[in-house]
Amino acid sequence: MNKTNQEKIATNWRYEKLVGIVQLVNAFEKGIRSKHDLAEYLNVTEIFLGQAIQHYKEKYGTHYEIDTYIIYFEPHLGIIKKS
């Protein structure tokens, strides 16, 4: 494995550790809706948050379903709770 691959793996790990899918759902449940508030809640910069969302778009596509939630990564971050 070359250095570039190792760096990409490490970066993706950081995104998933600091901006995890479950953390996004938890923030939604706490009423956090803006990118600024979400970044503050997760203790990351808005730039890092945007990069993490881009990572998830590349990994999952436009959305990801977990339990009773759908997390949309485009056109912008949004979470819906299914009934």
pTM surpassing 0.75?
yes
DSSP state of 77: -
CA 78 to CA 25: how far, in whole Å?
A: 10
pLDDT per residue, tens digit, the chain (83 aa), is: 788 899 999 999 999 999 999 999 999 999 999 999 999 999 999 999 999 999 999 999 999 999 999 999 999 999 999 98
In the numeric block, the tokens 């997760």 are attached to 42
Instruction: State CA 32 to chain mean position distance.
Output: 14
